[in-house]
């Protein structure tokens, strides 16, 4: 457990035929007829893996396991020409189809990319395969989110000490100077688009104390305060910011706020607390 102090102030494809593709079947077997001289056989399986722990009321993450709506591309790896593009459920209409011997990039995508969203995220995966004459090759395209998931849990006792409180997140390349907000009544997580190597997420907690818990400062009573911090977020990982107050009466006002970064939604790798003192 790490503690930090913060003060107030997210080869070839000879011919292919769709063997099986139902709405909940992630195996899309594209198999050619028996090998011929200079031909090859390719089978493709999609393996989507959104590892976020649970769905939400506005977005059911399990829907991203259904492969029929994924867009599949077969691309000539030597010149980036797209040789075939269609929805997974449409593959049977386009195949069989013959390709020259060589290397091919196979991609699969689903959803839409957003800087940050509560309603949708983007799944993407790709692999490169080289087919030789009379070779049978099975390819698995692993698809995963291009975002991380953030949420906030305000302890119910926050309402005892504060009239208002919220959290804003920012700092990613796609968000730029923009931020996203989590109000005291929000319950749905944010899905924040990230660089492939992950990014640092900045957060600011803003609070307005109730009259009975105002702090005495040099210029008089202080009602508003803020705390800032940063955590690392990776694609397909989730962070929860758990915020709870701890009040100890002192002569100069002593309102403290405990902040926990909780990664229990992904195997509980790291948890650390950040005590914040109201000055």
Q: For residue 111, give the H/E element and its range.
A: strand 102-111
Among 111, 145, 179, the domain-final residue is: 145
Residue 184, pLDDT score = 95
30 in any annotated domain: yes
User: Is 7 a member of any domain?
Assistant: no
CA distance 229 to 231: 7
Q: For 191-225, write each residue's pLDDT tens digit.
A: 999 999 999 999 999 988 888 777 655 555 667 88
User: What is the SS3 assignment for 228?
Assistant: strand
Q: How many domains does the chain have?
A: 2
Which DSSP string corresponds to 33-84? SS--TT--EEEEEEEE----S---SS--GGGGG--TT-EEEEEETTT--EEE
DSSP secondary structure of 204-220: EEEEEE-GGGPEEETTE
Q: In terms of domains, do 129 and 165 share one?
A: no
pLDDT in tens, 59-109: 788 889 889 999 999 999 999 999 889 898 887 677 656 677 889 999 999
- For residue 2, being part of any structural domain is answered with no
pLDDT of residue 182: 97
Asked, for residue 39, whether it belongs to a domain, the answer is yes
Residue 12 lies in a domain: no
Is the domain of 101 the same as that of 152?
A: no
The answer to whether position 109 is within a domain reads yes
pLDDT digits (tens, 9 = 90+) for 16-51: 333 333 334 444 444 444 445 667 777 778 899 887
**Residue 249, both tokens:** 């009466």
Torsion of CA 166, 171, 177, 181, to 10 degrees: -20
- Of 145, 172, 205, the last residue of a domain is 145
| Same-domain check for residues 28 and 116 | yes
Q: Are residues 158 and 235 in the same domain?
A: yes
Spell 108-144 as b/e; 16+ CB within 10 A means b: bbbbeebebbbeebbbbbeeebebeeebeeebebebb
Structural domain including 250 reads 147-277
- Pair (200, 224) in one structural domain: yes
In the chain, % helix, strand, coil (3-state, to 5) comes to: 10, 50, 45
- Selected residue with higher pLDDT from 30 and 116: 116
Please state, in angstroms and rounded to a whole number, the distance separating the CA atoms of residues 124 and 111.
9
Using 50, 70 and 90 to split pLDDT, how confident is the model at 269?
Answer: very low
Residue 9 domain flag: no
pTM reported for the whole predicted model? 0.77
- Domain shared by 104 and 172, yes or no: no
Could you give the count of Cα atoms lying within 13 Å of 246 in the half-sphere of its Cβ? 9
Identify whether residues 267 and 177 lie together within a single domain: yes
């Amino acid at each position: 457990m790490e503690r930090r102090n913060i003060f107030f102030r997210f080869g070839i494809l000879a011919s292919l035929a769709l063997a099986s593709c139902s709405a909940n079947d992630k195996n899309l077997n594209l198999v050619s007829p028996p090998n011929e001289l200079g031909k090859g056989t390719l089978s493709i399986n999609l393996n989507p893996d959104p590892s976020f722990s649970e769905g939400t009321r506005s977005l059911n993450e399990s829907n991203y396991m259904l492969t029929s709506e994924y867009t599949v591309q077969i691309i000539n790896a030597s010149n980036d020409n797209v040789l075939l593009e269609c929805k997974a459920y449409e593959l049977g209409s386009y195949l069989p189809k013959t390709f020259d011997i060589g290397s091919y990039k196979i991609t699969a995508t689903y959803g839409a990319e957003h800087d940050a969203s509560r309603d949708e995220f983007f799944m993407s995966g790709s692999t490169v395969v080289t087919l030789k004459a009379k070779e049978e090759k099975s390819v698995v395209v692993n698809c995963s989110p291009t975002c991380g998931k953030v949420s906030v849990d305000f302890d119910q006792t926050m309402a005892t000490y504060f009239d208002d409180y919220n959290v804003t997140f920012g700092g990613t390349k796609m968000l730029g100077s923009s931020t996203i907000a989590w109000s005291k009544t929000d319950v749905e997580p944010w899905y924040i688009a990230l660089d492939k190597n992950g990014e640092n997420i900045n957060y600011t907690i803003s609070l307005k104390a109730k009259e009975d818990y105002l702090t005495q400062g040099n210029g008089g009573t202080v009602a508003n305060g803020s705390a800032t911090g940063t955590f690392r977020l990776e694609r397909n990982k989730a962070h929860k910011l758990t915020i709870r107050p701890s009040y100890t009466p002192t002569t100069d006002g002593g309102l403290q706020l405990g902040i926990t970064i909780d990664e229990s939604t992904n195997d509980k790798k790291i948890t650390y607390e950040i005590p914040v003192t109201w000055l």
